[in-house]
Amino acid sequence: MTKRTLLVTLLILGSYTFSYAQEAIGINTNLPRTTLDVNGKLTVRDTGNLPSEGKLKALYVDSENGLIGTVAPTKATAPISVFTAKSSNIVPHNVDNANLFNQGETEIKIPISINDASPNNLNLTVEDTYNIVISEDGTYQISSYINVATSTSSTEKKLPIQEKNNETYVELTNYYKVIFIYAYLSLNNKTKIAGTRPILTSVLGSQANLITLPTVTRTLKKGDKLSIQFHRTTTSKDIPAGDDVTNIGLTSNYGSAPYSITINKL
């Protein structure tokens, strides 16, 4: 073969190789759809360790079209849902609720709206107005509070004042009352999983009382229901403890919502 023939042959082969490199390559397929189309299992062996882990990207396979690639990083989502009352009148501060409360052991349930959930990253739902429904099995940490407004009636109290040999009295309006209240978080409307019984002292006639329930960690199942309620306690003889109220309900005074429930999935 002459030098000229060899040169022409090399040019033709080089041109073919370059042209082929610009086309799609198919392995186990005659119709490659991408630059490299492998139809079947793919094995990569003895890769060793890459020098810099900080620059690595994970590769994913699309289950529908088989494409391999990276995905854009997404912001981590905290596994939390927070229900905070948007309405200040969900349990009205009125005589009707006072009559229920004064009976003792009569539950006053807190209405819960799905619109109160923000964020709701756990995809929780609300059922029958009062129940938060758990969406999946897991261990949860739950914190909550209610903001209770109370009103009590006044009584006239005579305060004795000694003036030399004459004893006189000054009449004062007295609102001092003691209110026994039990607030608790209920599981499936039958098991109390967190509760507190503060003894409220009413000295102003009307006042707001922020009642914080203990934080509880509990294993819950999909479909479990959480609700929150309160009532007046009774003595061992079933007599309502403490003093009556003239009005009771929830309020949004002092920067606190009527209720709030925070649910974290651990």
Q: What is the pLDDT of residues 228-261, one digit of tens each?
A: 999 999 998 899 999 999 999 999 988 999 999 9
Q: Is residue 205 part of a domain?
A: yes
Q: Is residue 64 part of a domain?
A: no
pLDDT at residue 161, rounded to an integer: 53
pLDDT at residue 14, rounded to an integer: 46
Of 20-34, 98-112, 172-186, 217-231, the least confident: 20-34
CATH, residue 130: 2.60.120.40
pLDDT at residue 185, rounded to an integer: 98
- pLDDT greater than 50 at residue 7: no
Q: Is residue 26 part of a domain?
A: no
- Pairing relation of β-strands 68-69 and 60-61? antiparallel
Q: Distance (Å, rounded) from C-alpha 44 to C-alpha 38?
A: 13
Count: domains in the chain: 1
pLDDT at residue 230, rounded to an integer: 98
Q: Pick 43 or 237 by higher pLDDT.
A: 237
Kindly indicate the confidence band of residue 217, based on its pLDDT and cuts at 50, 70 and 90.
very high
Q: Is residue 209 part of a domain?
A: yes
pLDDT at residue 53, rounded to an integer: 57
**pLDDT tens profile 59-98:** 778 878 887 778 776 776 899 999 999 998 999 999 999 9
Q: Is residue 19 part of a domain?
A: no
* Tokens 């849902």 sit on residue: 81
pLDDT at residue 11, rounded to an integer: 45
- Pairing relation of β-strands 108-109 and 68-69? unpaired
Q: Is residue 11 part of a domain?
A: no
**pLDDT tens profile 127-164:** 999 999 999 999 999 999 999 999 998 876 665 555 55
Q: Is residue 38 part of a domain?
A: no
pLDDT at residue 12, rounded to an integer: 47
Q: Which domain holds residue 191?
A: 80-265
- Which residues make Cβ contacts (< 8 Å) with residue 189, sequence separation at least 6? 131, 225, 227
> Is 0.75 surpassed by the pTM of this model?
no
Q: Is residue 44 part of a domain?
A: no
- pLDDT greater than 50 at residue 111: yes
**pLDDT tens profile 165-186:** 666 665 666 778 899 999 999 9
Q: Pick 255 or 38 by higher pLDDT.
A: 255
- pLDDT greater than 50 at residue 120: yes
Interval 25-38 mean pLDDT: 80
